[in-house]
Structure 1
Amino acid sequence: MQSYSTKRNGAAQLLPYLALFITWAMVHTSLIVFRDLPVFESGLVGPDSYMRMLRVTELYQNWDWFDGTIERANAPYGDTLHWTRPFDMLIMLIALPASLGMDFEGALYVAGILVSPLLQLTTGFALAWAMRPVIRPEVWFLPAVALFLQPGALAYSVAGRADHHSLLLLVFVVTAGFTLRALRNPLDARPAVWAGASAGFGIWLSVEFLLPMGVCLVALGMPWLFGEREKASQNKWFALAASLLLLAALFAERPLERFLEPSYDRVSTVQFLVVVSILLFWRAAESYENRATAGTHPVGRLLLGLFGVTAAGLLVNSIHPLFFAGPMAGVDPRIQPIWLDLVLEMRPLIPQDRDSIGSFIFFFGSGLLVVPFFARLLWQERRSSSFWTLAFIGFACLLLWLVAIKHIRFSGYAEVAFIMAFAVVFDRFLQWTHRIHSDFSRGILRGCTITVLLLGPLTVGTTLMVDKADAKDASGQSLTACDVGEVAGFLETDPRWTGSRQTILTFLDIGPELLYRTDHAVIGTPYHRNSDGIYDSYWMLTSSDPGAVRAMIVERGIGLILLCQSPAERNFFSSAGDSLYKQLSGGQIPSWAAEVALPVHLQRQARLFTVSR
C-alpha cells in the first residue's frame, strides 16, 4: 500500500513537468501549422539563422577557431562577424546525438532547427527554479507557461531560428535567479559568485548583456546603500566572478596578437575594463566598511558610490571613450539612414497610431496589467525581509521596459521581468482567493484572471494592428518574395554557374541564405560590420551614374545580378532618378548585361542577369 502511494505521489509530481512539455510542444507545433513557418521546406528562419549555420559549418570543416571571417561575403574582401563561439558550440553539442544516424553536417542542420525551441523549454524550467525565493513552489507552473506566450521571447525561439538571443534569455533567467538568492541572504556569497559568472557569460555571448548585468548590480547595490554592509562583499564576489569569466572569454575568442584589440560590439578588453572597474570599487567599498564606522551611514555610502561611479566612468572614458556611445559606436554613418535605422529589431515601440498602439499592447500589455498590482505589493512589503528581492523585479521591469520601448530587440528581457512580477502577483492572488468557499466561483475567478492577463493583450493587440498587404514570416521577411531556396538550387545545379564561383549583387537580406545554400559569393549581408558591402550594393543599384556603377561592378568582380522583387527589396532600392534597379525591373537592360531565362517555376518570382566582363 505504501509503495503504491509513493508511486502515485511521484507521478503527481511529474505531472506538471509533463504538462509544461506538452504546452511547449503545442505552442511550437501550432506556430509551424498556422503561421506556416518554412521548417519542412527550407528549415531555417531569417538571415541570421542561415549565417549562423554557415559559420558553424565552416568551423566544423576547418576548425579555425579564431577566424570569424566569411570569405564569400563582401566579395572579394570578406566580412568578419561580431558573433562569438559559445552558441556555435551549443549547436554542435546538440548535433552530436543526431550525428549517430546521419552525417554531421546534416545533424548540424537539424540542431539549427531545434536549438532555440529547446532553449526556450530549458528557460521555462529555469524560470521555475529562479522564482522559488519569492513564490510558493506549487505556483511555478503558470509563470513557466506564460513564458511560452510572450511574443518578443517567442520570436527568437521558433523552430528554425538559430539565434543566440534565445540563449541570452536563458542566461538572464539564471542570472536573475542567483541574484534573487543573493538578495535573500546577504551573508552568503555563493549566489553572488554564480550570478556574476552567469552575467559574465552573458556578456561573452553579446555585449548587450551589460544591461541585464547592470540591473543586477544596481539591485545588489541598493541594499548596501541603505544599510546592509555585507552587500559590499557580495558585490565584490559578483564582479570578481564576472571578471574571471570575461578573462576566460578573451583567451577563448582572441589570438594573442589581437588580445588587447578593443571592440565595442564584441567581448574585448573594453568590457573587461568596465567589469574590473566595478570590482575595484566594491573592493574599496568592502575595505571602507571594515575600517570606517562612518561607512555605516547612508550619506557616507552615497558619497562613496558617487565617487566610485565617477572614477570608473572617467577611467573607462580615458581609455575607451566610444564605450558610452554603445555597441554601434563604430558603425559606418553611411549605412545608418539606408539600413540600420530601418532594421526591425532596432525600431521603437512607442504608441503613435493604431498599428503602433496594437504592437505596444501585443508586446507589453500583459506586463503593464500586472505592474500596478505589483507596485502596490512592493509598497506593502517595504519593511519586510523580502522587499529587496521584490525591488529587484520591479527595477528590472521598469528599466528593461524603457529600453525595449526604444529598441524592440530588448522586448524579450522586459517580458521575462514582467513574468517574474506576474508570478509574485498571481501567487498572492491565489492565496487571497482561498477566502472564497465555493470551488466553482474560485475556479471561475482564477480562470478569468489568467485569461485576461495572458491572452487579453495578445487578442487586443492583434486586433488593433493593421493588416499588412503581404504576409510576413517570424523574422519579418515578406512571404510574397521569391523562394530563395529554389533560386539557390537553380544556381547550384545549372551548368552555367556550377563551373566557377559567381559574385552576386542582390538584396542584402537574402545574402546569407545564398551563401549557405550555394558556393557563390555576395556583396551585401545584413550585419553592421559589412558596411562597405551594404553601402556598395545599395549604391550600385540606386545610382543613376552608369559609368561609375559599371566601374564598381568590375572592381567587385560581379558576375550575376539577382532581383527577388520583394516589398522589402523594392523599398530598400527605391530612389529618385533612373537607377539601375529601376532599369532592370522595367526591362531596360544595359548593354553590358543580359537577362537569364529562368525555369518556369521561377519566372514569376525572380529576375536574374549576367554581367559581361
Structure 2
Amino acid sequence: MSTMPAWAETKDQIRSAPAARRDPMGAAMAAGGLLALASMAPEAWSVASRGTFLNPDDAMRAVEIRDFMAGQAWFDLVPHRLSPDHPFVMHWSRLVDAPLAMFVWLFGWVMPAAAAERAMRLTVPALLFLTSLWTILRIVRSLIGPRAMVPAALLTASSFELLANFMPGHIHHHGIQVTLLLLATAALLDAVGPGGKPVQGAWAGFLAVLSLGIGLQNLPFVIGLVSVAVTGWIVAGQRLPRTLAAFALSLGGGAVVVFLLDVPPQSYGEGACDAFSTAHLFFAAGTGVVCLGLAIASPRLPRAWQRLAAAALGGILVILGLAICYPACLHDPMAGVDPLLRQAWLSGVGEALPLARLIVLSPAEGIVLLLTLVSGCAATVLAMSKADAGRRGPWAALLLLAGIGVAGTCWQVRVAASTCALLVPGLALLVLNVFDHMARRPHRPALLVAVIVGCLGNGGGWSALALPMRVLATPHPSASRGSVSICFDPASFDRLKTLPPGLVLSTIDPGSAILAFTPHAVLAAPYHRNAYGNRVSLLALAAPPDDAHAMLRDAKVRYVALCRSSNETAETVAAHPDSLSAALMAGRTPEWMTSVSGEREAFALFRVD
C-alpha cells in the first residue's frame, strides 16, 4: 500500500495504477447501493405491499399525476378536490409530473394501474439515488482519485440527511433537486478545471435553470454556481471565455424554455416569488446576458482586476433590475402567507424550521445535524488547504457551495440534504488519509479508526453518539410535525372510503393522504397557497362547537376527520380545551354531528348533519 497521502496522489499515478484500482466505480456503486437498500428495505416493503405514503407531498404528487394522466391540462395546476370552492394554483411544476407519469404509463403496459404507480414510486427514488451516488463518485474521482470512491459511496449511503430524500415512495421534488444540483456541480467543476470543455459549461447552465423551473429551493445554489463560473473566468483569464459563454447561453436560453413550459400565457405578466415566474426568467436571462457579455469582452479585459470589476458591475445591474421590477422577490418568498397560517402552521413544519429552532425543539436531532455540518466543512477546508494548485480551485468551489448550503440550513433545515451531499468528497478524503496514516502503524486498528472518523462525518455516527440524549429528551411536537403517523397508513382510510363523497374537514397534514386514498374533497392540506381552506381548518377546529358549526355550514363541510395520534390534534386540544376538537376527542359529540367510526380506528370520523 502506498504511504503517500491521498491529497498528494497525482493524475500520472492514477493513470499508471492497475485497472481495478484505477476505476472501482462498479464496486463503489454496488457498496453504496446495497447499504442504502438495506437501510430502506422496510419502507420499500411498505410501499410495495400496501401503497403507503411516507410524506404528505408524496401523496399530493400522486394525486397530481393521476389528475394529469386522467386528462387535466398541462397548465392546469389547480388541485380541484382541495378547497374546491376556493381554487388555487399549486406552485409545483409539470416538469416533475411528466416523467413520473411516463413511468406509470410504461409500467401500466405489464401491470394494473395501482401496481404501476407503486412501481414508479419505488423505481424513481432508486434511480435518483444511484444517479446522485454516481455523480458524487465522479467528483471524488476527479478531486482525489479512485481510492476514495468506496469510502465516498459508504459515506453517501449512510448519510441520514441525504437518504431521507431518496426513501422508497418519495416522489416529491426534493430528491430531484438534490440530483440536479450534484449533476450541475460536477459539470461545472469539469468545465472550469484544466481541460474543461464548453459543452460541460452548457450542461451546467441548463441543469441549474432546470432545477429552478422545478422549485426554487436550489436558487441560492444556482447563484453559487454562477459565482463559480464567473470566478473561474476571472482567475483563468483567456482560457475560459468560451466555457463562460456556453454556460451563459444555456442558462439564459434554458430559462426561456423552462418559462414557456412552466408558466401559462395568462400568467406571463405575474412575478410570483414562490414558483418560477417572470421574475426568475428576468434573473436567469439577465445573468446569462451579463455572463455572455463578459465572455465576449474578455480580449479587452487582460487583467484579473478588470475582469473582477466588470463582473461586479454586471451583478449589480442584475440585482438593481430585480429590485426595481420585482422587489418582493428579494425577500422571503413566503412573506405573503396569511399571518395566522404562518404562526399556527408554517412555523411548526419540521423541514421549514431554522436550525437554531430545531436545536431548541429537538436537541438531539438539531445537534446531530449541526455536528454533521461542522465536521464536513472542516474536512473540506482541510482538503482544500492540502490540495495541489491544480485542484485547489475545484475544492474552493465545492466549499463555496457547501457554505451556501450551511447558511441555507440555518434558515430552513430542508437544505441539509444537498449540503451533506456536497460535503462527502472532503469527508472521503479525510477517511482515506486517516486510514493511510494508521496503516503505517501496524499496532493501530487502522480500519476501525477510519470507519469511526467516517461515521462522525455524517448523521449516522453522530446519531449513535446522541442516542442516550434521544432517549432521555422528548422532542417538542412541532419538531416532528408533518412526519408520518398512523394516519398515513392506507388501512386508516378504509372507513372513510366507504362513505359517499363529500367535503372533509381535517387537520392540515392528513389532507393529501385523504385525497390520495379516498374520493373525497378536503379543505386543508400542507400547502401555503391554500389560504382559505387551511385557515378554516385552524379556526373551526379550535372554535367552540356552536361557532364551529356555523363555519362548517358556510364551508359546505360534510365530514370531520380527526387523526387520534396527530400532533396537530393534540396541540389544538391542549391550547383550546373548549374547542370542537377537544369535545370530539373526549367523546362529546355535538347534536349536529354523528359519529361514523369506531373508538379504536385511527381517524375519528363524524358526519355533519
Question: Which category of TM-score, normalised to the shorter sequence, fits these structures?
Answer: 0.7 to 0.9
Instruction: Select 1:189's aligned residue among 198, 203, 208.
Output: 198
Partner of 1:136: 145
Name the amino acid aligned to 2:349.
V
Question: SS at 1:74's partner residue?
Answer: coil
Contact persistence 1:130–1:178 (CA under 8 A): no
Residues in 1 aligned to 2:480 and 2:167: alpha-carbon distance in whole angstroms: 10
Partner of 1:516: 516
In the superposition, relative to structure 1, how do residues 78 and 484 fare at CA in structure 2: closer, same or farther (>3 Å)?
A: farther
Partner of 1:25: 37
Instruction: Select 1:369's aligned residue among 353, 359, 375.
Output: 375
In the superposition, relative to structure 1, how do residues 247 and 104 fare at CA in structure 2: closer, same or farther (>3 Å)?
A: farther
Residues in 2 aligned to 1:372 and 1:363: alpha-carbon distance in whole angstroms: 14
Shift of the alpha carbon at 1:367? 4.4
Question: SS at 1:519's partner residue?
Answer: coil
Residues in 2 aligned to 1:457 and 1:77: alpha-carbon distance in whole angstroms: 46
Partner of 1:40: 49
Question: What does 1:491-502 correspond to in 2, within 5 Å?
Answer: 491-493=496-498, 497-498=499-500, 501-502=501-502
Partner of 2:416: 411
1:478-510 alpha-carbon deviations (Å, 9 max, x no partner): 6765566334221222xxx33xx2111111111
Shift of the alpha carbon at 1:236? 3.5
Greater CA drift, 306-315 or 281-290: 281-290
Question: SS at 2:389's partner residue?
Answer: coil
For the pair 1:49 / 2:58, whether they are aligned, the reply is: yes
Partner of 1:565: 564
Question: What does 1:118-517 correspond to in 2, within 5 Å?
Answer: 118-185=127-194, 188-226=197-235, 228-231=237-240, 233-293=242-302, 296-298=303-305, 300-350=306-356, 356-381=362-387, 384-429=389-434, 436=440, 438=442, 442-454=446-458, 455-466=460-471, 481-482=486-487, 485-493=490-498, 497-498=499-500, 501-517=501-517
Contact persistence 2:212–2:276 (CA under 8 A): yes
Shift of the alpha carbon at 1:79? 3.6
Residues in 1 aligned to 2:591 and 2:168: alpha-carbon distance in whole angstroms: 45
Question: SS at 1:403's partner residue?
Answer: helix
Contact persistence 1:355–1:465 (CA under 8 A): no
Name the amino acid aligned to 1:264.
C
Greater CA drift, 159-168 or 17-26: 17-26
In structure 2, runs of 5+ residues without a counterpart are: 1-17
Question: SS at 2:166's partner residue?
Answer: coil
In the superposition, relative to structure 1, how do residues 570 and 143 fare at CA in structure 2: closer, same or farther (>3 Å)?
A: same
Residues in 2 aligned to 1:352 and 1:95: alpha-carbon distance in whole angstroms: 37
Name the amino acid aligned to 1:606.
F
Contact persistence 1:91–1:108 (CA under 8 A): no
Partner of 1:594: 594
For the pair 1:104 / 2:113, whether they are aligned, the reply is: yes
Name the amino acid aligned to 2:310.
L
In the superposition, relative to structure 1, how do residues 9 and 509 fare at CA in structure 2: closer, same or farther (>3 Å)?
A: closer
Residues in 2 aligned to 1:231 and 1:14: alpha-carbon distance in whole angstroms: 33
Contact persistence 1:59–1:65 (CA under 8 A): yes
1:508-540 alpha-carbon deviations (Å, 9 max, x no partner): 111111111111111011000101111111111
Shift of the alpha carbon at 1:7? 13
Name the amino acid aligned to 1:237.
A
Partner of 1:540: 540
Partner of 2:552: 553
Shift of the alpha carbon at 1:304? 2.8
Residues in 1 aligned to 2:120 and 2:539: alpha-carbon distance in whole angstroms: 37
Partner of 1:611: 608
Residues in 2 aligned to 1:223 and 1:321: alpha-carbon distance in whole angstroms: 30
Residues in 1 aligned to 2:56 and 2:202: alpha-carbon distance in whole angstroms: 37
In the superposition, relative to structure 1, how do residues 475 and 250 fare at CA in structure 2: closer, same or farther (>3 Å)?
A: farther
1:275-326 alpha-carbon deviations (Å, 9 max, x no partner): 1221222233234432255xx142x344333322222111112111111113
Contact persistence 1:229–1:289 (CA under 8 A): yes
Greater CA drift, 538-547 or 407-416: 538-547
Shift of the alpha carbon at 1:466? 4.9
Question: SS at 2:237's partner residue?
Answer: coil
User: Under a length normalisation based on structure 2, what TM-score does the superposition of the two structures give?
Assistant: 0.87
Shift of the alpha carbon at 1:103? 2.4
Contact persistence 1:204–1:267 (CA under 8 A): yes
Aligned residues: percent identity?
Answer: 19
Contact persistence 2:372–2:457 (CA under 8 A): yes
Alpha-carbon RMSD = 3.3
Residues in 2 aligned to 1:81 and 1:491: alpha-carbon distance in whole angstroms: 25
Equivalent pairs, count:
589
In the superposition, relative to structure 1, how do residues 334 and 446 fare at CA in structure 2: closer, same or farther (>3 Å)?
A: closer
Name the amino acid aligned to 1:573.
T
In the superposition, relative to structure 1, how do residues 402 and 152 fare at CA in structure 2: closer, same or farther (>3 Å)?
A: same
Question: SS at 1:69's partner residue?
Answer: coil
Contact persistence 1:176–1:195 (CA under 8 A): yes
Shift of the alpha carbon at 1:567? 4.0
Question: SS at 1:235's partner residue?
Answer: helix
In structure 1, runs of 5+ residues without a counterpart are: 1-5
Contact persistence 1:504–1:559 (CA under 8 A): yes
Question: SS at 1:505's partner residue?
Answer: strand
In the superposition, relative to structure 1, how do residues 462 and 104 fare at CA in structure 2: closer, same or farther (>3 Å)?
A: same
Residues in 2 aligned to 1:19 and 1:380: alpha-carbon distance in whole angstroms: 28
Partner of 2:4: none
Contact persistence 2:504–2:522 (CA under 8 A): yes
In the superposition, relative to structure 1, how do residues 79 and 466 fare at CA in structure 2: closer, same or farther (>3 Å)?
A: farther
In the superposition, relative to structure 1, how do residues 125 and 13 fare at CA in structure 2: closer, same or farther (>3 Å)?
A: closer
Partner of 2:527: 527
Contact persistence 2:128–2:175 (CA under 8 A): yes
Contact persistence 2:191–2:197 (CA under 8 A): yes
Contact persistence 2:507–2:562 (CA under 8 A): yes
Shift of the alpha carbon at 1:576? 4.0
Question: SS at 2:202's partner residue?
Answer: helix
User: Under a length normalisation based on structure 1, what TM-score does the superposition of the two structures give?
Assistant: 0.87
Contact persistence 2:27–2:150 (CA under 8 A): no
Name the amino acid aligned to 2:218.
F
Partner of 1:3: none
Greater CA drift, 179-188 or 441-450: 441-450
Shift of the alpha carbon at 1:343? 0.7
